[in-house]
Amino acid sequence: MRKRILLVLSGVLLAFAGYLFGNRTAAVAHAGAPAQYAGVPNQPVEAPTQGSVPKSYGRVAAAIADKIGTGLIFEDPQGVIRFVSMTGMMEGELARYDKAPTQGGIPKSYGHLVAAVVNGENTGLVFEDAQGVIRFVTIAGKKEGELTRF
């Protein structure tokens, strides 16, 4: 009986000591205004990036963030896909074709561009045609996968 009482008292004493001498400081992080708006001295205030894009580029189909920065992807009525930086500079263009394949081109039969994704070192494009077929394509024009709707 004495051993049990001694064991219980030892456990209570250890728990109490741990409570008293434990780490009582807690680090709490609060979200605040970004540094350029918080009035922090020695921090330069950057103006927002401004540029212009011709209306002939068509509609914005997607926005991506990759290793060179944020970019927009446009698709014009003929299906030409253009990659444009946030400053308005065109980074690249993908042609679309009907019957005769072009190097690096994408068939018009794939439908309209609906999204784009960036993973590691590659950018993928997602197309959907009038029949509801969804295709995953690399920017080199290689079809990675296909989903059919029913």
Structure tokens belonging to residue 92 = 């690249």
For position 34, what pLDDT does the model report? Answer: 56
- Give average pLDDT by consecutive 10-residue segment, the chain, 150 residues: 83 75 61 56 63 88 81 89 85 85 81 86 86 88 86
* Residue whose C-alpha is closest to residue 141's, from 85, 89, 81: 81
For position 38, what pLDDT does the model report? Answer: 54
For position 20, what pLDDT does the model report? Answer: 66
pTM, rounded to two decimals: 0.61
Quote the strand ranges of 14-150, DSSP E: 59-66, 69-75, 81-85, 90-94, 96-97, 106-107, 112-119, 122-128, 134-138, 143-147
Q: Which domains are delineated in the chain?
A: 57-147 (2.40.10)
The three-state secondary structure class of 48 is coil
